[in-house]
Amino acid sequence: DAMVIQNPRYQVTQFGKPVTLSCSQTLNHNVMYWYQQKSSQAPKLLFHYYDKDFNNEADTPDNFQSRRPNTSFCFLDIRSPGLGDAAMYLCATSRAGQGNYEQYFGPGTRLTVT
Amino acid sequence: AQSVTQPDIHITVSEGASLELRCNYSYGATPYLFWYVQSPGQGLQLLLKYFSGDTLVQGIKGFEAEFKRSQSSFNLRKPSVHWSDAAEYFCAVGAPNKLVFGAGTILRVKS
């Protein structure tokens, strides 16, 4: 089945230690998104890639970066995690040009910062 | 700007009872509307979507939603709730390269 895969499902990192979260997709969608979801809150869009074009949300901290080496993979890098960055990180994909904005989500990575 | 309001933070229903979760949206154009469900520690699963056509849409797990343009609403319903429906439910409106989510409604099911 076509899907969105996130690895790892659970990640523990130390305060200030860089961490990378991974997302891959077999849907061949051209848009990939990263959301941050804190406990009991709605997902918050951090940024997205439209093909190779990176689009940052205005309020996304500089501490968060992303890479998309090819269509299938997208990475979220947190350069110096703080305690406030502990959250669920959701990856999603969509096919631009369909006009309906439907997004397909992965299972998420739960990040703990110690 | 687009926005979504889910007025109920928590709802508790008895197993077997009917359910309605409210969602109101603000969007200048024809809205593309979604309901997602999230179980604890899991990602978002799409329950149903509305793009156009019939304003009553059917989804998975026995859920349905009705789009009412005059009320800017897209309420989610289920005639008989099961204990496994306990989860958090998010309504969202689609916009170019983003989904705008409501704050979510946590559903508790009591036996």
Distance (Å, rounded) from C-alpha A2 to C-alpha A19? Answer: 27
Ramachandran region of residue A72, left (φ > 0), alpha (ψ -120 to 50) or beta? alpha
B59-93: pLDDT as tens digits: 999 999 999 999 999 999 999 999 999 999 999 99
Q: Does the beta-carbon distance from B97 to A48 stay under 8 Å?
A: yes
Examine the pLDDT at A58 and tell me if it is beyond 70.
Answer: yes
The domains of chain A are located at 4-113
Examine the pLDDT at A98 and tell me if it is beyond 80.
Answer: no
Q: How far apart are the first and last CA of chain A?
A: 36
CATH class, range A4-113: mainly beta
A109 burial level (CB within 10 Å; 0-12, 13-18, 19+): buried
Question: Nearest CA to CA, how far is A79 from chain B (Å)?
Answer: 24
Q: Does the beta-carbon distance from A105 to B32 stay under 8 Å?
A: no
Residues 69-88 of chain B with CB under 8 A from chain A are none
Which chain B residues have a beta carbon less than 8 Å from that of A31? Answer: 97
User: In sequence order, which residues have a C-beta less than 8 Å from that of residue B111 and are 6 or more positions away?
Assistant: B14, B15, B83
The tally of domains found in chain B comes to 1
Percent of chain B with pLDDT over 70: 100
Q: Does B32 reach chain A within 8 Å, measured CB to CB?
A: yes
Element (H, E) at A90: strand A87-94
A11-54: pLDDT as tens digits: 999 999 999 999 999 999 999 999 999 988 899 999 999 999 99
Q: Residue A2's pLDDT is what?
A: 65
Q: Does B25 reach chain A within 8 Å, measured CB to CB?
A: no
Q: Domain range for residue B85?
A: 3-110
> Which CATH number do you get for residue B57?
2.60.40.10
